[in-house]
Amino acid sequence: MSDVSSDVLVSVEGRVGRLRLNRPRALHALNAAMCEAMLAALAAWRSDPAVEAVILDHAPDPDGDPKLSRGFCAGGDIRMLAESGRGDGAAARAFFHLEYQLNHRLFTYAKPIVAFMDGITMGGGVGIALPCRYRVATENTKFAMPETGIGLFPDVGGGWYLSRLPGRVGQYVGLTGYRLDGAECLALGLATHFVPADRLGELKARIVGDPGGMEAALLDRENEAGGPALLDHAAEIDRLFASDRLEDVFAALEADASDFARETLATLRTKSPQAMKVSLKLLRDGARMATFEDEMRQEYAVGARVVQRHDFLEGVRAVIVDKDHAPNWNPATPEDVSDHLIDQIFAPLREGEAWQPAR
């Protein structure tokens, strides 16, 4: 049984439901139709005894272009969000609401889901991979939450996941947009397994043949990932990013003479000060969230406001539209981003406007 649309392929093979992202020329970036299709499939399979497990991956480019097959999912529909943000923001809010419902359904799904993070896994791709029970990285994995570079913040559950990484690595990753490789994802628990890309086809076939043996199949195919380079700097990251105040992080980096501190400071100076302050508060709050539903509700309120603010519109212009990579952030410095502004961005929405999970 299969249902083929232009952007996501939904099928059942044996006793396994399959969700295959199918926008290779956009590196499988999510749009509303893809979120709707995956939500509908997961809802149908939830009560179907013939479906025992789910595989989430991406389809290769139909023309065989390896450059267009290198992404699991590069994010969400950023251009649409910016266009909506310039107006009344309604379409952006609708997309966030739908996308976060998909994130939440994946997080709470009773049947095992395995996501194959083979290639670029960023932004919205992180949001659909990390809720899955099993998350397979490869030597091609490039995992990042780069949102502060476009005036946004690590949403789709970023406040939950990054705040639960060891030490202050989550703060470092969330502020800098650092790209983790497969070995680093495995070492940090962002991936549950590491499998060479050339063995994925064999692994998926084995899961389809015996979904009850999924965990054994994953362990049987797991290979040594290699050394996680980022963790060589774990002590420095814990020290330099110890504070939840962005001004303190900048001061610590400015006072440190190491190459790592100098390079990190140069990176942060390219990011939106507002977005970085939002990110630090998001992680501080996320560490204390009782449920993932609470996290989604807060992130939706924050996203609904940030998407209409200057820095997001300017970040998209600089990085995605004009590509001059010279954003004019406003406020321009960490000191200029007031606590009052952050409180306004984080204020809960009214009951009728707040995010709700799919039922």
Tell me which residues are annotated as active site: 76, 124, 147, 155
Beta bridge partners of 91: none
Contacts of 254 (CB under 8 A, 6+ apart): 265
Q: What amino acid occupies position 30?
A: L
Taking alpha carbons only, the member of 271, 176, 151, 157 closest to residue 230 is: 176
The torsion angle over the Cα atoms of residues 83, 89, 91 and 95, rounded to 10 degrees, is: 100
- Cα distance between residue 264 and residue 250, in whole Å: 10
* Contact yes or no for 59/21 (Cβ under 8 A): yes
Give the angle 344-347-352 at the CA atoms, nearest 5°: 130
How many other CB atoms are there within 10 angstroms of residue 66's CB atom? 8
- Cα distance between residue 163 and residue 152, in whole Å: 17
Q: How are beta strands 113-117 and 53-58 bridged, if at all?
A: parallel
